[in-house]
Amino acid sequence: MSQLFQGPARSQRGFTLMELVVTLALLGVLALLAAPLSELSLRRTREAALRQALHDIRAGIDRYKAAVDQGLIERKLGDSGYPPNLESLVGGVVNQKSLKKERMYFLRRIPRDPFAPPDGPPETTWGLRSYASPPDSPFPGADVFDVHSLSKEIGMNGIPYEEW
């Protein structure tokens, strides 16, 4: 009988209910602290992707314009020399100085705006600015002078994404 009731000197196995509640409470607090950090990290990643996509598209537009200025691409009277649409940067245009009339390509693919909805083709996720439009109120036209995000959100730097 004395072996059944050894009292406090006996070693216990397992956790008490209070230890489990305290542990779960600490895990909950850590999870609450980690959620905003993961959201911030995701936003930084999307902003970096937007910055890179804008750089790539704008570099393709600039290469197209340089090719027009060099006479590699046919320029019609009254044209600005900028591509008529984003698809022509990927689909390519005929090199007028090439004997074989090879195509020149300026982008491998059109990147998607990371802040746009995931449906639709990537070229529709961008706002277009024609050469004839003013910088403070861009609008599409006969050519593509620049691109901008259609997102109305404000970046972490305080500048709206559509102004990047």
Residues 118-155 pLDDT 10s: 888 999 999 999 999 988 888 999 999 999 999 999 99
Q: What is the pTM of this model?
A: 0.76
Residue 11 included in any domain: no
Domain with 42, as residue range(s), is: 21-163
Contacts of 74 (CB under 8 A, 6+ apart): 94, 96
Q: Is residue 14 part of a domain?
A: no
Domain count, the chain: 1
What is the Cα–Cα distance from 100 to 91, expressed in whole angstroms? 17
3-state helix, strand, coil in the chain (%, to 5): 40, 10, 50
pLDDT digits 0-9 by tens, 43-93 = 999 999 999 999 999 999 999 999 999 999 988 888 889 999 999 999 999
- How many Å separate Cα 106 from the centre of its chain? 19
Within 8 A by CB and 6+ apart from 36, the residues are none
